[in-house]
Amino acid sequence: MAYQDVHFASSRDVIATVAGTLRSFFASLGHSIVLSSEANRRLHQVQDLQSKTDEELAALNIKRDDIVREVFGDLFYS
């Protein structure tokens, strides 16, 4: 003889699952926007430093070859 048990998800379970999925989606979307704006800010900073003369860079104690290291140093270099 076989027994069968049927479980129906309550509306509360469904709502909690959908809410969790939406929360996760929007958190990921927000995180992506923050990362994009941070990368854009750093790119503008590199372009700004590259447009300076060697004398201006020397006044900032930055060599032209070290511009990228200076801007992205906290992310890629330790």
Alpha-carbon span 37 to 52, nearest angstrom: 23
pLDDT at 29 over 90: yes
Contact 71, 49 (CB under 8 A): yes
Alpha helices for 1-78 (secondary structure H): 11-50, 54-59, 67-76
pTM, to two decimals: 0.55
Whole-number Cα distances in Å, 15 to 11, 18, 23, 45: 6, 5, 12, 45
The amino acid that residue 31 corresponds to is H
Query: What average pLDDT does range 25-48 have in this prediction?
Result: 91
- Summarised one tens digit per residue, pLDDT across range 57-73 is 999 999 999 999 999 88
Contact 62, 41 (CB under 8 A): no
